[in-house]
Amino acid sequence: MWYYAFKYVLLGPILRVLGRPRIEGLENIPERGPAILASNHLAVMDSFYLPLMVRRRIYFLAKAEYFTGTGVKGAFQRWFFSAVGQIPIDRSGAEAAAGALTAARRQLEAGTLMGMYPEGTRSPDGRLYKGKTGLARVALDTGVPVIPVAMINTEKLNPPGTVIPRPSRIVIKVGEPLDFARYEGMQGNRFIERAVTDEIMYELMQLSGQQYVDIYAASLKNKPTAPAEPAAA
């Protein structure tokens, strides 16, 4: 109930005014049945504009921190992110990652539309980064189609570290479904999972027009900042 209230009444109209969104290739998303929407990730707003422009309900995996806050703010966050279709996951280790993939499989087995970000985190600078293989693992395990989705200009509306949105022109490009049936029975093979992931990232690069960087975005974010050199005397 709250999902559609936010989409059509409470939040959606505001997002449409701010972002003037346009979607291309909507016909590539099936009207029913499970599928993975594999999207690049530029801003928090990606998880709002994609559901806004797609008729079907989309479920996303979201970091557990959104659901563990305390006080009034924490309670509001838990309610809000649950209401808009976010599923909490712990991203702190290998076991947590396995739990996230299990949650994704469970949603797909229920016939839902699952939104996933193969980069694993937001791009720190607008470029497209190396994909992690978790999405490929889920796709190979479940046999569902993977549909590439390019979010464009969301980082201009919602730059990292900002709270107040800046009016922009959001474009969403949906590519044709990718079929990995040729790899049936090969799930668990890390070379196959990497090949599938790289194919998905190539399609995202083609759709989005982003420059591709063959390193993980998280490794760049976690890289310590070099200390400033002392000023010359």
Cα–Cα distance between 65 and 67 in angstroms, integer? 5
For the record, the structure tokens of 100 come out as: 């996230």
Domains defined along the chain, listed by start:
2-216 (3.40.1130.10)
- The per-residue pLDDT for range 2-37, each reduced to its tens digit, is 788 888 898 899 999 999 999 999 999 999 999 999
Cα 170 to the chain's mean position, in Å?
A: 16
Q: What are the helix (H) ranges across the chain? A: 2-5, 12-19, 46-53, 71-83, 94-109, 134-142, 154-157, 190-208, 217-221
* pLDDT tens figures, 130-139: 999 999 999 9
Contacts of 74 (CB under 8 A, 6+ apart): 68
User: How confident is the model over 33-89, as pLDDT tens digits?
Assistant: 999 999 999 998 998 999 999 999 999 877 666 667 777 767 777 777 777 777 776
Give per-residue pLDDT as tens, 96-129: 567 778 888 889 999 999 999 999 889 999 999 9
Taking a C-beta distance cutoff of 8 angstroms, is the pair 178, 200 a contact? Answer: yes
What is the pTM assigned to this prediction?
Answer: 0.86
* The pLDDT of residue 231 is above 50: no
State the sign of the Cα–Cα–Cα–Cα dihedral 9, 10, 16, 21. negative
Strand partners, 31: none
Specify the pLDDT at position 226.
46
- Nearest Cα to Cα of residue 175 among 151, 143, 144: 151
The per-residue pLDDT of the chain, averaged, comes to 87
